Structure 1
Amino acid sequence: MKPQVNIAVVVDVIGALSDKSLQNGNLCLIDDGSFDSRGQGTPELVTVVVPGQVVQWSALAVDLQTPVEIRSISFLPAGGGPAAPEYGVDHGPAGAPALGDGTDGGLGGAAEGAAGGLAGAAPAGHQLESGQLDLNVWSGVVPPYLTPGVPYRYRLELQMYEGDHSVLHVDSPALMCL
C-alpha cells in the first residue's frame, strides 16, 4: 500500500465553460492508488483508500491558457441530502488534517489547498476554500472511523478563470475504505 493516493483532476476548461458543465467529457478523474478504484477517467471515480492514508487532489487544465483551481471539496451526507457543512483550513505550516470530524455521517470536508504546507482544520461552519487562485493541490488524511465498503461522495468545486459560470462542481466522485 502506498502512503499517499494522488487524484488527478483533469479539466477541459474550454469545453466546461462552453457547456457550463463538468459532464460530457469535460472532467476526467484518475487516481494512482494501490487498490482497484472504480470509474477511472470519469467524474464518477470511487477512490479506494485505507485509514491513515494521505489523499491529494491536483487540478490540471487541458487548455493551457485558462487556469483551473480546486475551489473547495466538501463531503456529502449519506442518502444524497444537502451538502454537509464545509470545514475551513488555516493556511500556515502544520501537520496534515484528517478528512472530517465525524459530524456528517463519517467524513467531513477537510482537504486543504496547500501551497507551502498543510494546516489543521478550523471549526465547523468555515468554508473550505483557498481564497487564492494559485492553489491547485489539496490534501488530507483518511480518518480511522470510516465504514469499510461505503462510498463517501464529495462535491468537487472548480474555479476556471473569472466571470459568469466560472465556478462549476460535481457531486459524483467518492472515497471508499477497504
Structure 2
Amino acid sequence: MTQTISIVTFVDAVGAISDQSLIGNLFMMDNSCFQSTYQGTANLSTFCYPGQRIHWVIYPVDVQTPVGIKNITFIPDNVVLEPVSSMGSDSEKLDLNIWSGYVPTYIVPNKEYKYRLEIQIYEGKKSVMYVDTPSLKWVKP
C-alpha cells in the first residue's frame, strides 16, 4: 500500500494582496514519511517516490477571503517560465481547493523537480499569483 502525501498550503490572502506577492505570505507543509525539507516555507521540497499519489490542498489564513489553486506546472530543466499573463478577470471565480496527481515513474533519484504553483486570491485583476520554488524529490530509502 502506498502512502498518499498531502501538501497543505496556507495563504495569508490579505498580506499577499497588500504586498502583491506570495513571498512571506505562503506556507507549505506535507506529511511525507521521508522528512521533506523547508517545511513551512514556499520552498518546500517534498520527498516522494515514483507512482505515489500527491494531494495539493490550499487554505486561506483569513477565512473570509477565498483562495484556490489555479494551476500546477512542472518546470523543465534550464527553463525559466514566463510570468503569468492572465491575471484574472472580474467575473472569474475559482472553487478548486484540492489538486491530485501521481509522481511520474520516470523521475530520477535525488533530483529536484520544481513546479509553479499558481494561486487565485478572490477575483479581479492581479488576483492570480505564483511561486516557482516548491519541488518534488525522490529520495531512495
TM-score (norm 2): 0.87
Q: Name the counterpart of 1:9.
A: 9
Per-residue Cα deviation, 1:22-63 (whole angstroms, up to 9, x for no partner)? 00x200000001101110000000000011110100010001
Asked whether the 8 Å contact 1:11–1:61 carries over to 2, the reply is yes
Asked whether the 8 Å contact 2:28–2:44 carries over to 1, the reply is yes
**TM alignment of 1:63-142, pairs within 5 A:** 63-79=62-78, 81-83=79-81, 133-142=94-103
The whole-number CA distance in structure 2 between the counterparts of 1:22 and 1:62 is: 13
Given candidates 116, 128, 134, the residue that maps to 1:167 is 128
Q: Structure 1 stretches (4+) deviating beyond 2 angstroms?
A: none
The size of the alignment, in residue pairs, is 130
Q: CA RMSD in A?
A: 1.6
Percent sequence identity over matched residues? 47
Question: What is the SS of the residue equivalent to 2:16?
Answer: helix
Q: Which has the higher contact order (CA 8 A, sep 6+)?
A: 2
- Higher mean C-alpha displacement, 157-166 vs 11-20: 157-166
Q: CA deviation at 1:2?
A: 4.9
Asked whether the 8 Å contact 1:52–1:144 carries over to 2, the reply is yes
Which structure 2 segments of 5+ residues have no match? 83-91
Q: Name the counterpart of 1:177.
A: 138
Asked whether the 8 Å contact 1:2–1:34 carries over to 2, the reply is no
Which structure 1 segments of 5+ residues have no match? 85-130
TM-score (norm 1): 0.70
Question: What is the SS of the residue equivalent to 2:59?
Answer: strand
